[in-house]
């Protein structure tokens, strides 16, 4: 493979504490913003509710749509859907008390259509509707949590068997880091947590771990051939040796999801945005967070003698 960086010798390890501090700042800022907004915004998939996309024949202000829906709900969300030239509006509302009591879930959709029609703010067409009951939303939320936890547990055991425990912990911490930072950016840019976003989070979890394993595998090989070097030097050398591969792989994947973000349509916006953030933070965490944790936890071993790498199974 053609190397982008010939004989790269950047001191990544030197900046590990700065990287950890930066990550803490992003995470704490995300927690603060989420707290001020009442938590991570949940999509209809998880919270339950009604979503209706309507397309007007002419430009219609969002405020006019909100005013028309005032008699229906005070907790509605009205926002532009797609390009402004489409004149499409997305309307989201929570499940009403009548729907919670087992009445027809389509009541919310009919209420939206009736309210806009009575307001006489312009001719429109209903493009799509989505209705999720509270029980189904709760079930999907639990399944999303179970899927994420199961993937993290599997990753921990795999890396523990393949490498040393300190490397396994480093990989898991880096993976948690990626998830939390991604959630922070979802909060910053006001994206809802939906099934598409969960799918993206699980995807970037595997992507990040794969990148981390490539670096860890090179570290293990260097530990066998360069036993006199400190763990810090070995890690830094290994990150530099895999830098070209990391940039090429991450760069090509990033170009794909950026294209998906701009041309994939409104439905895939959240998925593509999550992937963009995840790829960037996953690459960053593999080089800084995972390796830094492995160095910190392996420090005692290094001070008493070189830690021995496990043989590949």
Pair (205, 249) in one structural domain: yes
In terms of C-beta density within 10 A (0-12 exposed, 13-18 middle, 19 or more buried), how is residue 68 classed?
buried
Domain boundary among the residues 84, 116, 132 is at: 132
Q: What does the pLDDT look like over 245-274, one tens digit per residue?
A: 888 888 899 999 999 998 887 778 889 999
Q: Beta partners for 193?
A: 42
Tens digit of each residue's pLDDT (9 = 90 or more) over 51-63: 889 999 998 888 8
Task: Specify the range with the lowest mean pLDDT, choosing from 2-6, 137-141, 178-182, 304-308.
Answer: 304-308
Q: What's residue 104's pLDDT?
A: 58
CA 150 to chain centre: 17
- Average pLDDT over all residues of the chain: 81
The CATH number given to whatever domain includes residue 239 is 1.20.1640.10
Measured CA distances, 170 to 74, 166, 253, 292 (Å): 46, 6, 24, 7
Q: Which among 132, 151, 174 is the end of a domain?
A: 132
Domain co-membership, 149 together with 296: yes
Does residue 311 register a pLDDT over 60? Answer: no
Please name every residue paired with 78 in a beta bridge, in sequence order, or none if there are none.
91
Residue 308 has pLDDT above 50, yes or no: no
Q: Which among 98, 132, 166 is the end of a domain?
A: 132
Name the residue range of residue 112's domain.
49-132
Q: State what percent of residues in the chain have pLDDT above 70.
A: 88
Question: Is residue 114 domain-shared with residue 183, that is, in the same domain?
Answer: no
User: Which of 95-99, 232-236, 294-298 is predicted least confidently?
Assistant: 95-99
Number of domains comprising the chain: 2
Instruction: Specify the DSSP element, H or E, that contains 101.
Output: none
My answer on whether 255 and 200 are in the same domain is yes
Q: Is the pLDDT of residue 309 over 50?
A: no
**pLDDT for res 184:** 92
- Is it the case that residue 185 has pLDDT exceeding 80? yes
pLDDT of residue 98: 54
Which candidate, 165, 202, 173, places its Cα nearest to that of 310? 165
Confidence of residue 306 (pLDDT cuts 50, 70, 90): very low
The pLDDT of residue 215 is above 90: no
3-state class of 306 per DSSP?
coil
pLDDT, tens digit, for every residue of 7-39?
677 888 888 888 889 999 999 998 999 888 877
Contacts of residue 297, Cβ cutoff 8 Å, sequence gap at least 6: 165, 166, 169, 170
Residues 6+ apart with CB under 8 A from 262: none
Distance CA 12, CA 104 (A): 59
- Is the domain of 203 the same as that of 150? yes
- State residue 263's pLDDT score: 86
Tell me which H or E stretch contains 51: strand 49-56
Q: Is the same domain home to 91 and 240?
A: no
* Three-class SS state of 48: coil
Q: 130 is written with which tokens? A: 């989505």
Q: Which of 114, 72, 113 is nearest to 89 (CA)?
A: 113
Q: What is the mean pLDDT of residues 226-247?
A: 84
Nearest Cα residue to 239 out of 177, 294, 201, 202: 294
Question: 236 with 153, same domain?
Answer: yes
Burial degree of 28 (CB within 10 A; 0-12, 13-18, 19+): exposed
pLDDT value for 125: 92
Listed in sequence order, the DSSP H helices in the chain are 16-36, 44-47, 62-68, 97-100, 107-119, 134-162, 165-188, 195-225, 231-241, 243-263, 269-285, 291-297, 299-304
The whole-number pLDDT of residue 281 equals 92
Tell me the C-alpha distance between 128 and 53, whole Å: 5
Percent share of the chain, pLDDT over 90: 15
**Mean pLDDT (whole number) for 97-116:** 71
Residue 230 inside a domain? The answer is yes
State the Cα angle at 109 between 104 and 113, rounded to 5°: 135
* 128-168: pLDDT as tens digits: 888 776 666 677 778 878 887 887 788 778 877 877 777 88
* Residue 168, Cβ density class (10 Å: 0-12 exposed, 13-18 middle, ≥19 buried): buried
Place of tokens 């911490």: 173
Q: What is this structure's pTM?
A: 0.75
- Tokens 């927690």 -> residue: 31
């Amino acid at each position: 493979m053609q190397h982008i960086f010939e004989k790269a010798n950047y001191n990544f390890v030197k900046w590990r504490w700065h990287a950890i501090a930066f990550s803490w700042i992003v995470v704490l800022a995300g927690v603060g913003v989420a707290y001020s907004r009442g938590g991570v915004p949940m999509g209809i998939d998880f919270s339950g509710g009604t979503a209706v996309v309507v397309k007007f024949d002419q430009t219609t202000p969002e405020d006019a749509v909100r005013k028309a829906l005032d008699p229906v709900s005070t907790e509605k969300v009205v926002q532009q859907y797609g390009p402004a030239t489409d004149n499409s509006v997305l309307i989201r509302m929570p499940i009403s008390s009548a729907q919670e009591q087992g009445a027809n879930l389509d009541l919310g959709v009919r209420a939206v259509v009736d309210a806009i029609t009575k307001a006489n703010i312009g001719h429109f067409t209903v493009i799509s509707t989505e209705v999720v009951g509270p029980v189904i939303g709760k079930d999907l939320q639990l399944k999303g949590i179970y899927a994420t936890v199961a993937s993290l547990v599997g990753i921990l055991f795999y890396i523990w068997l393949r490498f040393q425990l300190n490397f396994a912990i480093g990989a898991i911490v880096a993976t948690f880091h990626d998830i939390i930072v991604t959630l922070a950016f979802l909060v910053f840019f006001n994206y809802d947590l939906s099934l598409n976003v969960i799918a993206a989070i699980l995807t970037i979890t595997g992507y990040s771990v794969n990148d981390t394993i490539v670096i860890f595998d090179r570290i293990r090989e260097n530990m066998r051939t360069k036993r006199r070097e400190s763990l810090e030097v070995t890690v830094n050398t290994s990150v530099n040796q895999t830098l070209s591969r990391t940039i090429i792989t991450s760069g090509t994947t990033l170009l794909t999801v950026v294209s998906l973000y701009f041309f994939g349509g409104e439905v895939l916006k959240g998925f593509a945005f999550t992937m963009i953030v995840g790829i960037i933070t996953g690459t960053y965490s593999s080089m800084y967070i995972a390796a830094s944790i492995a160095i910190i936890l392996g420090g005692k071993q290094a001070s008493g003698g070189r830690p021995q790498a496990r043989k590949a199974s």
